[in-house]
Each structure stands twice: as C-alpha cells, then as structure tokens.
Structure 1
Amino acid sequence: MTAIFDCSVDADLLTGMRLARGAIGRGQLVVLPTDTVYGLAADAFSAEAVQRLLDAKGRDRTSPPPVLIPGVPTLDGLARDIPESVRALVAAFWPGGLTVVLHAHPSLQWDLGETRGTVALRMPDHRIALELLSETGPLAVSSANLSGQPAASTAQAAVDMLGDSVAVYLDGGAAGESYEAVGERPGDLSSTIVDATGDHLRIVRAGVITREQLIEVVGEEAFQPPVAEGEPADA
C-alpha cells in the first residue's frame, strides 16, 4: 500500500526515510523532493527497478533516466573522460540544477535503458534527497509524472499521476522555490542538461541554470550553438 510522509514532521520524516530505504532495497519506487521538481526514484543498479520506473511513467527504454548522486566524488566512480570544463561547472553549480551527460564507465553493472554508453548525472541541492542518496547510493531518478504531463512540483501532484505504482512518497513541500525566489527561470524548474560527450559542450535542455551562467564559468568557446528547447522534463 502506498504511504505518504510529511517530512516537515520529525516522526514522519524518520519513518518515511526508513521505509524509503527499504523500498529502494526491494526494487520498489520512491517519490522524493529535489531542488527542481519531484523525482521518481529507483535503484540505479537494479534493471528490474529501472524498468518499473519507466513503466510507471509510460516511457520506453529509449528515454533512460538520469542518475542522482550524493556527492562530487561519485562522479569519477560512474563516468570517465570527464572534461575540465565539466569539473568547473560541477564546482560552480553542484549541488544544484545542473545535469551533465558523460561517458559511463563500461564496467558498471547496470541497465538504465538505451544510453549508448552514456550517463546523465546530477547532485541535487535538497536535504532530504541528499540524505536518502547518502544511504542508498546512486539512484535512477526521473521527474515524478506521467510521460507528456507536467513534472510534479508537489507530492500530491505526483500521487495524482503515479498512484499505487510508488511505494513511498516523501512530501517535502513545494519543489523549486529556491530558484523561483531568485527569479532564474520562473515556470521552468527542470534541471539544465549539458552533454559533454562530444568535442564541445552542448545544452540539450534549458532549465534553472541559464546559458549565460554556464558561459560565465567556462566561456562561450566551450559550447556548441544552442539548440531548440523541448526535451522532456527530468529531476
């Protein structure tokens, strides 16, 4: 039976986190708050759990989920050939709303879908998400919504779309308020995705970190020309 826990209440937070850890360990799905939108999480190293995540959203294997990690050191454990420009961006924007697409270590025992040897990584800037990640390790996390629907910014919105396909909902209040407060991208609270698998960086989805902010760190010459928006939202 699906359980919803108000993480502003200490007793609910403790119980919810304990049950969330157990659910992840059993290959079940958990909805958790992040600094951007709510995320639908599964054990990144369980092919069955990742497939359950894709099924719950109504996606196929051509849309592999990103992976959320608990800290910068995990970056080198999951990705190879990391450009210095990416290290500079990570230093500037992690934890935060930046997702980087890199070449995955070929030895990793996971199946995220049709990734073509890449992995999208992000360290979220949210206390509850980071605490759970520190205990479970990397999680496959996509936005908590049905494919084609807006990403959930509240736990209740996620419940309304995903229902009993999720074992535990962690309610951390409205997501993305820190970005709205500084006016970075009002109304667009998904993370910015930067593909670093080619000769130049490429922005494949605009989000809470703007192109101008990225250029301030690594310079215009590090990037290919911008592409059209419209990529599906992820946490």
Structure 2
Amino acid sequence: MAEIREAAEAMEPALALLRAGEIVAIPTETVYGLAGDATNGAAVAKIFEAKGRPRFNPLIAHVATMAMAEEIAEFDPLSRTLAEKFWPGPLTLVLPLKAGSAIHPLVTAGLDTIALRMPRGFGARLIERLGRPLAAPSANSSGRISPTTAEAVADDLGDRIQLVVDGGATPVGLESTIVKVEDGRLRLLRPGGIAAGELEAAAGAALVRGAKNGVEAPGMLASHYAPGAMVRLDATEVEAGEALLAFGPRRARNAGAAVAMRNLSEAGDMREAASNLFSHLQALDRSGAKMIVVEPIPHDGLGEAINDRLARAAAPRDSGASYK
C-alpha cells in the first residue's frame, strides 16, 4: 500500500521516486495529481497504467516558471496575457508544442499541442527542484471522482503507487479551467476553477465554448468524474433508497427518504460548492445507494464547471475505455 507522508516531510522521498522514473500522488490547489516526469516515457506510461486511462486522452504538463513553459510551447500574445494574469493558479492553456520539446509524445496523445499549467504550493516547489515538467492528471482511476484529500487517493490507488503526499484538503476542489486561443479567439475546452467571466474580463472578449476537433484536452470524454452509483441531475423529488446531493437551503420533495445526504453549500455559495463537490460525491457513493440524485444548481460563475462535472458523472457508461 502507498505510504502517506505530510508535505513538510515528503519533498526528498518524492524527488527520489520521480528521478527513478516512478510516479507520486501530490496535492495541488485544484485536486490531487498523479505526477510523473513528463519527459520520461516510462514514467508517463505508469500514469496511464495506474489510472487505467485511455491513451487518446492527453495529459496536462505542469511547470514551475514561465521560462520552463517557454521551452515547451509557443505563446501567442493573448495566451501570454492569461498566463501573466492567472499563473500560478487553476488555468490550463493549450498551446502549440515547440519543435524539439523534451515532452514525451505520450503526454500529448499524438496532438501537436500541449496543455500547460503552473500550480501553486508543493507541486510548484517539487517541479522546481526536479528541474523538469510533471505530467499530473487527477490521482484517481480514470473516469472516476477526482480526489481532494490524500485519503481519497490512497483508497483508490493505494495498491498501485508508492507515495501519496498529504497537503490537506485542496482549496479549489475542481480541476483547472482549460482554454485554447484559436484564430485569435479564446475557446473554452473545459470549465473549471476559474470562472468564464474572469477569463472574458482578462481577454476583453467572449469565450467560444467547446472543441472543434474532438478530444483536445483532458476531461473532455463524455463520461467522466463518475461515482460507482448512477447519477440523476436536476432532481426535484427523492425516491426511497436514493442518496441526495443537495444545494442551498431548500430541499427536494421527500428528501427525508434519502439514505444519505450531503449539501454542497447551505448558503448557495458556488466556491464552497466547488470545493465540496468531489468529496461529497465520494461520501454519498460510500452510502451504498444505487442512485445519487442532485438538486438543481445554477449555471452562472463556477456553476458552469460544477454542472459540467455532474453532467459527465451522469453520462451513459457503456464499455468506454474510461472505466478500465
């Protein structure tokens, strides 16, 4: 089983594993990431293996400085403006991959672009010490609920990795927002920890939503972020035996019939709801209910990202590769 070590004591053990081509679960401000040297193909392959992640789903490469980012990708003026405004932080930029970059092709899933992010905290210090970017998707089995605590990582991946760095509960609780500048326009590929309105204000232009060419970035598979239970959205009534993911002060009809209930935010606060989303889904999944029903959540601000994750959690689950 994986060892869980406090962040204050974990730097040297994490570095030793990464330098040896192993993978390590680390805290970031968004969710916990499963990190490996992005220039080492064997290490990147271990990420895919541990997660059961489909190889056509690209990974985010995490950097510690703009100088490191510029060795990997070509920055247009708008992307640079966004990096200067929001890095370090929960924003991922999809950029043209620079010729001769040391990033291993497994990270990009064969695309000619690279998804880059600059994290805060332990992850940034780790990358700076390593001197190389880290590929670090969420530290969970592919398609399942993203972890926001070290314990959630260990419960899921503890028999597949050696070390989980414990930095406490993640403050944002949602994955990063992913954007791409295309033909001078800013395209939102995945809503996340930075609301669309903040990006539009910084860019001085409206966002275009969705990808033009299928899966261009992580988190774009139709079915993703899913618990073991099925999920029903916009529920106005709870049936016997269901678990309830609530929002705000008012309850769905027959809420008392729920076998378990968690409220994302009693006050209807979107930041609180975002930070609680994955941990509350995990708690309800452990209740044994076959169905988790979700009360309606507004789509404004961070609600866009919350509803995106819930829609993917509720999507049909056929034999897609996300669930290996």
Q: Same fold (TM over 0.5)?
A: yes
SS of equivalent to 2:136:
strand
After superposition, residues 120-139 of structure 1 pair within 5 angstroms as: 120-125=115-120, 127-136=121-130, 137-139=132-134
Runs of 4+ in 1 over 6 A off after TM superposition: none
Q: Is the 8 A contact 2:23 2:43 kept in 1?
A: yes
Residue 69 (str. 1) matches residue 60 (str. 2): no
Q: Which residue of 1 aligns with 2:149?
A: 154
Structure 1 residues 170 and 5: alpha-carbon distance in aligned structure 2, compared to 1, 3 A threshold: same
With normalisation by structure 2, the TM-score equals 0.62
With normalisation by structure 1, the TM-score equals 0.84
Q: Is the 8 A contact 2:108 2:114 kept in 1?
A: no
Query: Where does the alignment leave 5 or more consecutive residues of structure 2 unmatched?
Result: 212-218, 226-324
Residue 17 (str. 1) matches residue 11 (str. 2): yes
SS of equivalent to 1:147:
coil
Query: Where does the alignment leave 5 or more consecutive residues of structure 1 unmatched?
Result: 8-12, 180-187
Deviations 1:103-145 (A, max 9, x none): 11121232225241111000012x2111101111210110011
Amino acid at match of 2:4: I
- Deviation of 1:35 (Å): 0.5
Deviations 1:4-26 (A, max 9, x none): 1022xxxxx23x21111010011
Q: 2:205 aligns with which of 220, 225, 230?
A: 220
Amino acid at match of 1:220: A
Amino acid at match of 1:54: F
- Deviation of 1:64 (Å): 1.9
Aligned residues: 212
Q: Is the 8 A contact 1:101 1:197 kept in 2?
A: no
- Counterpart Cα distance in 1 of 2:110 and 2:116: 12
- Counterpart Cα distance in 2 of 1:33 and 1:97: 13
SS of equivalent to 2:154:
helix
Residue 170 (str. 1) matches residue 165 (str. 2): yes
Q: Which residue of 2 aligns with 1:203?
A: 188
Q: 2:96 aligns with which of 103, 107, 117?
A: 103
Q: Is the 8 A contact 2:71 2:101 kept in 1?
A: no
- Counterpart Cα distance in 1 of 2:183 and 2:62: 22
Between the two proteins, what is the percent identity of the paired residues?
35
Q: Which residue of 1 aligns with 2:246?
A: none
Structure 1 residues 146 and 78: alpha-carbon distance in aligned structure 2, compared to 1, 3 A threshold: same
Structure with the bigger RCO (C-alpha within 8 Å, sep 6+) is 1
Q: Which residue of 1 aligns with 2:76?
A: 83
- Counterpart Cα distance in 2 of 1:85 and 1:215: 11
Structure 1 residues 160 and 214: alpha-carbon distance in aligned structure 2, compared to 1, 3 A threshold: same
SS of equivalent to 2:137:
strand
Which one has a bigger Cα radius of gyration? 2
Q: 1:50 aligns with which of 35, 39, 44?
A: 44
Amino acid at match of 1:142: P
Q: Is the 8 A contact 2:32 2:146 kept in 1?
A: yes
Amino acid at match of 1:93: F
Deviations 1:70-106 (A, max 9, x none): 01222211102x1111111111110100000001112
